[in-house]
A = this chain, B = another copy of it.
Amino acid sequence: MNDKVINAALLGLGTVGTGVYKVWKSQEPEMADKIGSRLNIKKILVRNLEKAARKVDDPSVLTDSWEEILNDPEIDIVIELIGGIDPARAYILEALKAGKHVVSANKDLIAVHGRELLDAAAAHKVDFLYEAAVAGGIPIIRPLKQCLAANHMSEVMGIVNGTTNFILTRMTREGMEFADALALAARLGYAEADPTADIEGLDAGRKVAILASAAFNSRVVLDDVHIEGITKISAGDIRYAREMGCDIKLLGVARNTPEGIEAYVCPMLIPSSHPLASVNDSYNAVFVRGDAVQDAMFFGRGAGEMPTASAVMGDVFDIMRNIRADCCARIGCTCYKNLPVKKMEDICNRYFLRMQVEDRCGVLAEMTAVFAKYNVSVAQIVQKEKMARERAEVVVITDSVREGDFLTAVEELRRRESIHEISSLLRVYGEN
């Protein structure tokens, strides 16, 4: 039966690594029936052998030497869960060159060096799979590359960061301000000690790059993605949005247009009737649109020990099936196009603009004249009772307009004495 055992090594035994170890243990009794082979996690790379010993049944599998894993010819699959660019990139490239298959959940790396890793896998006829890098346990990479392969995808977008979705959900439901909701998220374990990558949109931006590459068959990297976070969103913005029939979500959006790919992450107003508007707390959801499938959505846990481990082990099982069927590298890089990526200023969206203006006759006329000058058409306008002496709050939602034109109009508004402050400027998700 020995030829029916496939050996793997785990790099990292943090949250996801521990989850993978647990899923492996729980699947072991039926793995031979399910896949036709058994998996043996032969080595686990850790930094602190002593600390890790408490997490595994047999501490002799632990090692702090990457070379021990790389040079073990019995190890066929490397599961990289250490994250970050270095040394993960070097380890993965060395493993691929040594003829080992690699499963990775490393979005930081794949969003920047995805092509290099997939090319190396192809060159050495091995698999490099990364379902867990986007939206945790939610199947999305394999559906895009296989189930939906017969589509021209025009859009892939969604809520792909659980921390910010938790924060915005609390701000919406309880009227909390950003700082309080962030503190709560940290207290409940939904935000990391340094939440910068989440709240500034960087984590979501990496996932948009990976999703867009898989959906549009053209490589999109992190630098191609325009990124804004949620730190400037206030409870007041959310209240106004709801008055206008919308919620505010941190959306990652990628569109394939005749002029090129649009890829951005930013807080956006989205109609409350849209399926994504009801994706709350730390849940993630990815919405896709294709010429055949039309609209589809994938919803679930976007992070966490066990959901992410589910995706990692799904990839491991796939590689085990490939090894058994002798068809490794069956599906590699699917980016056979080379589409341009549009600049943010050339992208059209609708905008939500909240301003403090002088409360006198003629100010609205002045504002709308500026809009007209730059071809900005106003779809909705709300003026509230004045908040302070001689000061009124005006909220505008525009029709779709090229961002460059809109920002020029906003610059001109800022220079007007009657406009005291532009307190928020947000995009509105919708058909353009």
Residue numbers of A with Cβ under 8 A of B are 19, 23, 26-27, 30, 33-35, 131, 137-139, 142-143, 146-152, 217, 275, 278, 290-301, 304, 306-307, 309-311, 313-314, 316-318, 321-322, 325-327, 330-331, 334, 336-337
Contacts and interface: CB of A to CB of B under 8 A. Distances in A.
B150 A23 contact: yes
A277 to B, nearest CB: 10
5 contacts: A33-B217, A292-B310, A294-B301, A296-B298, A327-B330
Contact of A278 (B146, B275, B294, B322): B275
Given A33-B336, A321-B331, A295 B300 contact: yes
A280 to B, nearest CB: 10
Contacts of A275: 278, 299
A176 to B, nearest CB: 20
B299 A296 contact: yes
A330 B328 CA distance: 11
Contacts of A304: 294
A309 B131 CA distance: 25
A294 B299 contact: no
A309 B291 CA distance: 11
A57 to B, nearest CB: 19
B301 A150 contact: no
Nearest to A317: B149
A253 to B, nearest CB: 18
Contacts of A311: 147, 293
A27 to B, nearest CB: 5
Nearest to A143: B139
Given A147-B139, A150-B23, A292-B309, A325 B314 contact: no
B330 A306 contact: no
A139 B131 contact: no
Given A152-B26, A310-B151, A334-B34, A137 B294 contact: yes
Interface core residue of A131, A293, A309 (most chain B CB under 10 Å): A293
A131 B150 contact: no
A126 to B, nearest CB: 13
B131 A34 contact: no
